[in-house]
Structure 1
């Protein structure tokens, strides 16, 4: 076989392999999202574009309100979330997320600078003065303890003593979960946690899942605030967690659990909660709101669940977006006025000094103490 033919066949094989890899990625299921496990119908694709959760902790019980925004072509999907005790499930209020986002958004402030920068006159044209640039006992292996319909969701609340049996039960009931899930569920089974399994489906037949789903609210007893994250180890893409925590104090995570260090976006006391926030907190006032965000570039490195704890103090924090503006006086750059005034004063001072040192023109008078002029000979 000639060299050219071998090269052509090699290139063709590489191209076919790339096509096969690409097709495989198109139907690969998204095994996990930030909290819980998400698996679409076999042969379909579903990804969680955004996940936001509000956690309410009152010292005895916990409530998690979660909203998922998804993309894909799956008409049905399954989502499972472990919880430390029997959970009550209901639909959440969409307005809650807008409210906490508004409360924790950055404040806008203006900073003035004196000397001109790139883009200011005289370094740029067609720019108005003052414009600025922003900076930016034996039990069955699986026991169904409750099942109900909530809007588009089919919700099953389960207990399990065997993760493999849990996986098989879910499969028989339409929740097609990957075998790897049994391994990740075992720590929860050993701790006697329970599960909320949810079948996701669009409101109308023939539609596919997409966009923001209705929020779900899960309430359960717990001796400490926790946010389940272990199942996110199955995720195939980087994950982002956006978490709003409502408690009596400023809160933080006990560790990074294998992700980037969490960042605090807001911390502050809400003295008079109203609307959906008041409904969630039982209209108790005040309440402390902490907004946290964290990224997981490699979800396989997640080591467990997030445990939340009170911070060392309740110091408030709020981000700020700054707009830098050139300092002006009466619409004129302050630096230009200062430079002009300095130049005028310097010129006047130099003129005064020079004038004081120069004798008047045409004056024949000798300075005091000078010897008289000698007389000319007759």
Structure 2
């Protein structure tokens, strides 16, 4: 029995250690893999997508955790793309614009914490020379160092050759990449491969990374998601879509039902101007969860909704109903006491008024004695 218990404990320990050193492919737009036996996870991917019917721009940023000093991911794009650093202020502005509306929901009777139940009061560097691969199946469109990102823009006609080029040029990729990328190779898509390496000596990839801005021509609004099938952990995607109309995903693509958290027109504010050109546009904010990434069936394609109905989430907070600075329940209780007191007074008054009045009447004179009857003797007085 002791041997069996020891074997079970060793098995559980090995399982836990294996989960710590296994790479995490966690990225809503592609595959992210750390170097060596380090680990990294993307807890949140947030992207801003601008589409004018001909050109699409994606500004994306990741919130990561782990102990990796380097990691890499790849994003397929339908046409030739340009890449530059994005503006982090853009996300702060969109968070402010799409904030929930706070509404009060009043209650009548006091709760815990209310009186009398509580006494208290309420930048891009110069491009590096492209690495030359030995296989003509992979073409290097460009390679740039953007902050903490080493970015390579590639073409490929062979998925295995693409994986080999990435491996030989410092982009560690999962073994299943060739299989998952084949549909893009068949459609003659191109690729943006990014290697993340903090410029700070000894730094690790942790927290919210600098955003990247990717621009390409597209006659349909598409957000690449297919490579997220390789993720080993649940995925969370947040999309801000800037277009002429309210937009919606064509399908769930294997995730939970997409939730619209905001829809409405926004002015061309300073932070949005690089994407909107300073013009008013329609903003749709969408959240979606992917509890089982292996069920992702393809890329997100978005279309115009049936109508441009505006929407804003409401967050309710409970408040004690107050009228004129006084709790409504106190006013109601006071009114009831006044009514009861007035009613009691009127009832007592009427009862007194309706009571019979007693008067003192004089005694009737004694009847005269009959003739011949003896006279009544006089009453003796003390």
TM-score by length of 1: 0.88
Question: Is the Cα–Cα contact under 8 Å of residues 89 and 216 in structure 1 kept in the other structure?
Answer: yes
- Contact kept, 8 Å, 2:26 with 2:235, in 1: the verdict is no
Q: Which residue of 2 aligns with 1:125?
A: 118
Of 152, 164, 168, which aligns to 1:168? 164
Relative to structure 1, the CA distance from residue 241 to residue 95 in structure 2 (aligned partners, 3 Å threshold; closer, same or farther) is same
Matches within 5 A, 1:284-303: 285-303=279-297
Q: Which SS does the other structure have where 2:306 is aligned?
A: coil
Matched, 1:205 2:198: no
Q: 1:75-94 to 2 correspondence within 5 Å?
A: 75-94=69-88
Partner of 2:63: 69
Matched position secondary structure for 1:348: helix
Task: State the Cα distance separating 1:330 from its structure 2 match.
Answer: 4.4
Q: Quick check: 1:140 aligned with 2:136?
A: yes
Match of 1:249 among 241, 245, 250: 245
Gaps of 5+ in 2: 123-134, 368-382
Mapped contact 1:32–1:233 kept (Cα < 8 A) = no
SS at match of 1:265: strand
Q: Return closer, same or farther for 1:304/1:376 CA change in 2, 3 Å cut-off.
A: farther
Number of aligned residue pairs: 355
Q: Partners of 2:103 and 2:210 in 1: how far apart? A: 35
Please give the alpha-carbon distance, in whole angstroms, between the structure 2 residues aligned to 1:261 and 1:362: 81
Once residues 357 and 10 of structure 1 are traced to their aligned partners in structure 2, the CA distance between those partners, rounded to angstroms, is 92
CA-to-partner distance for each residue in 1:314-360, whole Å, 9 max, x for gaps?
11111222222212234432112212212221332243134324446
**Per-residue displacement from partner, 1:149-191 (whole Å, max 9, x unpaired)?**
2222211111112211111111111112122111111111111
Between the aligned partners of 2:13 and 2:30, the Cα distance in structure 1 is 31
CA pair 346-246 structure 1, distance change in 2 beyond 3 A: same
Match of 1:34 among 9, 28, 36: 28
Deviation digits for residues 57-76 of structure 1 (CA, Å, limit 9, x no counterpart): 11111000011122222221
Aligned partners of 1:85 and 1:220 also within 8 Å: yes
Mapping of residues 131-280 of structure 1, within 5 Å? 131=122, 140-271=136-267, 273-280=268-275
TM-score by length of structure 2 reads 0.87
| SS of residue in 2 equivalent to 1:275 | coil
Once residues 153 and 326 of structure 1 are traced to their aligned partners in structure 2, the CA distance between those partners, rounded to angstroms, is 53
Match of 2:11 among 17, 24, 33: 17
Larger Rg over CA atoms:
2
Cα distance in 2 for partners of 1:255, 1:364 equals: 94
Tell me if 1:282 matches 2:277. Answer: yes
Map Cα deviations across residues 111-148 of structure 1 (whole Å, 9 max, x no partner): 333233344334x22243xx4xxxxxxx9321112222
DSSP-derived class of the 1:56 partner: strand
Give me the whole-angstrom Cα distance separating, in 1, the residues matched to 2:256 and 2:354.
81
Q: CA deviation at 1:49?
A: 2.5
Q: Contact 2:247 / 2:284 at 8 angstroms: preserved in 1? A: yes
Deviations 1:80-129, CA, capped at 9 Å, x for gaps: 0001111011111111111111111112232333233344334x22243x
